[in-house]
Every structure is written in C-alpha cells, then in structure tokens.
Structure 1
Amino acid sequence: MKSIYLILVAVLFGYSIAAGQITPPSVNPDTVENTETEQIIIENDENVEVKEIETYADQFVPRKASLYAAILPGAGQIYNKKYWKLPIVYGGFVALGFAVDFYNDRYTLLRTELFKTLNDTGYSSPYGNETQLRNNLDSERRDRDFYVIMIGVLYLLQIADAHIDAHLKEFDLNPDLQVSLEPSFSNEAFGYNAGLSLKLKF
C-alpha cells in the first residue's frame, strides 16, 4: 500500500515539474524583441544602396549560340565573339574532308581493281591478288567511314562548345586579371635550371 502511494506521489511530482517547464500559449516572451528587430531591419533597408554588377548573361544566350552553330558551323563561335576558334573549327572540317576524300579515292580504285581481277582471269592487278584486294578494300572503307563519323563528332563538338562558352560568359572576370607565360631560372645545388612559369596577376 505504501509503495502505491510513493509511486503516485512520484508521478504527480514529475508531472508538475514537466508542466512548469512548458510556456503557456498565451505568453510570447519574444514579441518585444521580434518587433524591435523588424523595425531595425526596415530602417536599415531604407539606407541600403544596391550596386548593380555588370554581367554578360543578357548579351549571350546559350540557346541562340547552339542554334547558330547548328545552322552554320562556326556561327556560334562568332556569336560568342570567339573569333580565334574559327580556324580550329573550319581547319578541322577541311582536314577531315581531305581524309575522307583520300580514303574514298583509294576505296574506289581498289574496288575497280577487284572487279577487273574477278571479270578478267588474265588480268594481274599491281595492288595484289584477290585476297589482298579484298582486305585492302575493307581497310580503306573502314578508314573512310571513321573520318566521316569524326566530321559528325566535330559538328556536335562545335555546337557544345558554343553552348558552354555562352554559359561561361555569365562569369564576369576581373579586368585586371593578367595571365602571362614567362621564363624562369632557378639555382639548385647541382646547377642552374631553366623553364617556363605561368604567372597570374590580380
């Protein structure tokens, strides 16, 4: 019987302590502090000076750059004002075009020789027998097709380059930033060393 009373008293005591720690909903101790903070923020907002930072984001739209590059290779680079990339783009297309033309001429020649060998039993091709002609013919066709695929890859790369470059225009670089490649010399224990160093100046 005494143990029941002791348990009941302990439970009531613990409940009274827990209830004393709960703030009644009608009391808001932070009301005055919140009001003063809001007034300070409002007063500070009136004196704040907003400084606009010049950005290139409005001048270069990535979608436009991609569209121009898709319509005419190199047009996206012109839109982004990266004229130095034009020789790379067009030089790549010209080089790949020459490679395709070279291997296609070889393929046409070997195919003609193979047909002559098959149709004329007395004909001896200077490019080898039938087996050699077939092997070389397959090799030339694979090389030609490879460079045709590379032209497609270069086309997609120049579109991606124009799109990414237009996105990077959003980052306004420090106009005082200078990057220079200068010679460097160092005196080591075993002698002098000469090389190149990349220096960044802010």
Structure 2
Amino acid sequence: MKKLLLACFVTITIVFNASAQEPVKVERDTIFIENQDTVLLKSYAKRYNPRKALLLAAIVPGLGQVYNKKYWKLPLVYGGFYLIGRQINFYNDIYTTYKFQLFTNLETNATKSKVYPYYTTDQLRRIVDRSRRERDFMVILMGGMYLLQIIDAHVDAHLKEFDLNPNLRVSLEPTITQDALIGRQTGMALVFRF
C-alpha cells in the first residue's frame, strides 16, 4: 500500500511539473529515493557533520571551529593555549632555577644559599614544590583546554540542526512572592513565552 501511494505521488508530481510553464525549483531541501521504502532528506544542517568537526578539532586545535565557520573562536582557542603555555614556561623556569640551588645547598649541607642568601634550604624546598605543583596544574589545564575546544566544535556542529522557535520571547520581569513561612520576597524572574 505504501509503495503504491509513493508511486502515485511521484507520478502526479512529475505530470504536474511537466505540464507547468515554468518549473518549480526547490533550493532549500533535496529528496533522494534510495529504494522503494526509504526517502533520504538532505538539508542544510547535514552539511555539518559533528563527527568530522570532532576529528578535525582533535587533529589540529581550532580546525573544528573553522569547519563550523565560527572563525571568531580561533583567537579564543589559540589565545587560551598561548596563555596557559606561557604560565607553564614561567613555573618551569622557577622550578629549574631554584631546584639547582636547592640541590647545591643539600650537597654542601649549607643552611643559606650562596646565590640567594635571603632563602634558607627549607624555603627553597617550598618554592620548588610549589612551582612544580603549579606547573603540573597548568599542564592539566592545557589538556582541559584541548578537550574543551574539541567538545565545542562537536556541540556547535550538532546545534546547526537546532531550529529556534520564531515565537520564542524571553523577558526579565520583577516578581513578588508572598509565603506564610518566609514572608514577602521580591526578585527578578526570567520568563520564556512561546
């Protein structure tokens, strides 16, 4: 029954299109018939493949955002990588400088440093531990930044399909609530109407 209805619909459509003076062009969507039971609908949203955006962002950071045509996110991605990388370099420089002096003090059994006479061995040990901890934390943040840009590219490609309701209205309205237990409360409410 479904095959018969589909065949009748396609036949009527072809006959009316052939008899019209000007053919009707549909540029928004295209329908492909693979077999008798399946109709594939290829639309604008299917041009952005979330899996491809994810893989591109994983290979080269920022390439998923370029694939989604969100060029304004590139400075955010590379700026974040630059700032975190700069902090990693800063803490690593402190770590290596003071670690060398700490090992020198430990080998000579000195309580004060010769290069840094205002630091004791215990203070140098705390500086080395703290700078190593901060450097390792920044490395973790760099990994988080990498994952965040991958997730952003993937979610953004998915949201290309999202259709926003044109009747949606969002407003911020004052509210007053009367409660027997708490009393009168005033505030603001975010109201969605659709």
TM-score for both structures, normalised by structure 2: 0.61
Task: Number of aligned residue pairs: give it.
Answer: 161
Cross-structure match for 1:136: 127
CA distance in 2, matches of 1:76, 1:44: 40
CA distance in 2, matches of 1:123, 1:154: 40
Residue 173 of structure 1 aligns to a residue whose secondary structure is: coil
* Percent identity (aligned): 42
How far does residue 60 in structure 1 lie from its aligned partner after superposition? 0.8
Is 1:77 equivalent to 2:65 in the alignment?
yes
Higher relative contact order (CA 8 A, sep 6+): 1
RMSD: 3.6
CA distance in 2, matches of 1:184, 1:82: 36
Unaligned runs of 5+ in 1: 1-37
Unaligned runs of 5+ in 2: 14-25, 30-40
Cross-structure match for 2:148: 157
For the pair shown, which has the larger CA radius of gyration, 1 or 2? 1
Residue 47 of structure 2 aligns to a residue whose secondary structure is: coil
Match of 1:194 among 161, 178, 187: 187
Alignment of 1:24-63 (within 5 A): 38=1, 42=4, 46-47=8-9, 52=29, 55-63=43-51
CA distance in 2, matches of 1:107, 1:83: 37
Is 1:64 equivalent to 2:64 in the alignment?
no
Name the structure with the higher helix share.
1
How far does residue 151 in structure 1 lie from its aligned partner after superposition? 0.8
CA distance in 1, matches of 2:169, 2:74: 23
TM-score for both structures, normalised by structure 1: 0.59
Cross-structure match for 1:174: 164
Residue 197 of structure 1 aligns to a residue whose secondary structure is: strand
CA distance in 1, matches of 2:147, 2:111: 49
